[in-house]
């Protein structure tokens, strides 16, 4: 019953070409769904089939003999513990499902929509479960900043140039529909991605993704990067923009604009005019709007990704871009 209900919710909130606010998994991943369902049921996590598919999509796109990239995990007892060591896709899925279950258990995930704990579990799937206990003990849970700290420590300890993927939760969640399906508003996916980035300093992942070779004022690059991670740019919901004026003009010219008196919804793009000169000079993402207060996630806020809040209609707000739902 729970699987049927989740499926119905995804159909309601995520179905159809006009509502493509996350990136679907590949046909190769979909082809493995019967095997994923088999092992998800066997290991007691049948309600996490969509999350397993999202992990597989990030790991391999469903290609190769080790589609869950589970060879180096503790549940592989048949093949070498090396990248792509597993030579049997079904066994890779069997091991990967067990790895993910262990991470979900360690992270104390309560449901497929318990996004805060799911982020912790996903980073643990990538880094190893040692990260989960470390993050819980030291910080009480997941944050992008502590993922970077753990990665740096492990790389130094092992003498490696890098360790794991510090963007792993965001990379997986772009393929995961349930994160927004059970929360208010149709554009929760971009908010979930943005929240995984809290604590980033300097914006290097965003301005370098955009194509800049050195730091620029990166608030718009951050919004564009988040939009790209969940498929909004590809589906035409949000433009790729590095300048606030360009972004605002795109929404205006496409009939997707509201002025500052509007009460925004989850996932709207909020533009600011700090100087009061009628020109926008900063941009962020609306996390939620409650009791006359707009809560945001912004890049380049003091050169970091931070949560902020403003009164609805504040003179600092220039207006809103409204992604099509």
pLDDT at 111: 85
pTM above 0.85, yes or no: no
Please check whether residue 87 is in contact with residue 70, taking contact to mean a CB–CB distance below 8 angstroms.
Answer: no
Closest CA to 320 of 276, 280, 275: 280
Q: Tell me, what's the pLDDT at 182?
A: 37
User: Tell me, what's the pLDDT at 5?
Assistant: 40
CB 181 within 8 A of CB 193: no
CA distances to 287, 296, 297, 301 from 306, in Å: 11, 8, 6, 6
Rounded distance between C-alpha atoms, residue 189 and residue 216, angstroms: 26
- Would you state the pLDDT for residue 300? 97
Q: How far apart are CA 105 and CA 159, in angstroms?
A: 30
pLDDT on residue 9: 40
Q: Which residues are CB-neighbours of 138 under 8 A, at least 6 positions away?
A: 146
3-state secondary structure the chain: CHHHHHHHHHHHHHCCHHHCCCCCCCHHHHHCHHHHHHHHHHCCCHHHHHHHHHHHHHHHCCCCCCCCCCCCCCCCCCCCCCCCCCCCHHHHHHHHHHHHHHHHHHCCCCCCCCHHHHHHHHHHHHHCHHHHHHHHHHHCCCCHHHHHHHHHHHHHHHCCCCCCCCCHHHHHHCCCCHHHHCCCCCCHHHHHHHHCCCCCECCHHHHHHHCCCCCCCCHHHHHHHHHHHCCCCCCCCCCCCCCHHHHHHHHHHCCCEEECCCCCCCCCEEEECCCCCCCCCEEEEEEEEECCEEEEEECCCCCECEEEEEECCCCCEEEEECCCC
pLDDT tens track of the chain, all 325 residues? 444 444 444 433 333 333 344 678 999 999 999 999 999 999 999 989 999 999 999 999 999 999 999 999 999 999 999 999 999 999 999 999 999 999 999 999 998 878 889 999 999 999 998 999 999 999 999 988 899 899 999 999 999 999 999 889 988 988 887 754 433 345 777 887 888 888 889 999 999 999 999 999 999 999 999 888 777 887 788 999 999 999 999 999 999 999 999 999 999 999 999 999 999 999 999 999 999 999 999 999 999 999 999 999 999 999 999 986 4
What phi and psi values does residue 190 have, to the nearest 5 degrees? -65, -30
Cα(53)–Cα(47) distance, rounded to whole angstroms? 12
Long-range contacts of 223-227 (CB under 8 A, 24+ apart): 223/247, 223/269, 223/283, 223/284, 223/285, 223/299, 226/170, 226/190, 226/193, 226/194, 226/197, 226/285, 227/190
CA distance 19 to 293: 27
For residue 8, the model assigns a pLDDT of: 40
Which residues pair with residue 259 across a beta bridge?
319
Q: Which of 47, 16, 52, 15 is nearest to 33 (CA)?
A: 52
Structural domains in the chain plus CATH codes: 27-174 (1.10.530.10), 187-321 (3.90.1720.10)
* 236 C-beta neighbours (distance < 10 Å), count: 11
């Amino acid at each position: 019953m729970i699987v049927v209900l989740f499926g119905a919710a995804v159909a309601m909130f995520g179905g159809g070409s006009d509502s493509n606010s996350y990136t679907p998994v590949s046909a190769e991943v979909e082809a493995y769904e019967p095997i994923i369902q088999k092992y998800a049921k066997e290991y007691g996590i049948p309600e996490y089939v969509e999350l397993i598919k999202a992990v597989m999509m990030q790991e391999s796109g469903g290609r190769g003999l080790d589609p869950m990239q589970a060879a180096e995990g503790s549940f592989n007892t048949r093949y070498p513990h090396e990248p792509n060591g597993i030579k049997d896709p079904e066994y890779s899925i069997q091991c990967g499902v067990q790895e993910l279950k262990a991470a979900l258990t360690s992270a104390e995930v309560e449901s497929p929509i318990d996004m805060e704990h799911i982020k912790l579990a996903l980073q643990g799937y990538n880094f190893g479960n040692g990260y989960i206990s470390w993050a819980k003990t030291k910080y009480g849970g997941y944050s992008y900043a502590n993922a970077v700290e753990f990665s740096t420590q492990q790389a130094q300890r092992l003498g490696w140039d890098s360790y794991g993927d510090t963007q792993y939760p965001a990379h997986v969640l772009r393929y995961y529909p349930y994160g927004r399906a059970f929360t208010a508003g149709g554009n929760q996916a971009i908010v979930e991605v943005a929240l995984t980035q809290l604590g980033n300093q300097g914006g290097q992942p965003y301005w370098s993704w955009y194509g800049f070779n050195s730091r620029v004022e990166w608030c718009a690059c951050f919004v564009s990067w988040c939009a790209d991670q969940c498929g909004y740019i590809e589906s035409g919901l949000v433009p790729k923009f590095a300048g606030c004026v360009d972004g605002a003009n795109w929404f205006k010219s496409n009939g997707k604009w509201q002025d500052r008196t509007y009460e925004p919804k989850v996932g709207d793009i909020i533009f600011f005019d700090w100087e009061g000169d009628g020109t926008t000079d900063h941009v962020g993402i609306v996390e939620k709007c409650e009791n006359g207060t707009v809560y945001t996630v912004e890049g380049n806020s003091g050169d970091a990704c931070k949560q902020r809040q403003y009164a609805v209609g504040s003179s600092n707000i220039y207006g809103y871009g409204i992604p099509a739902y």
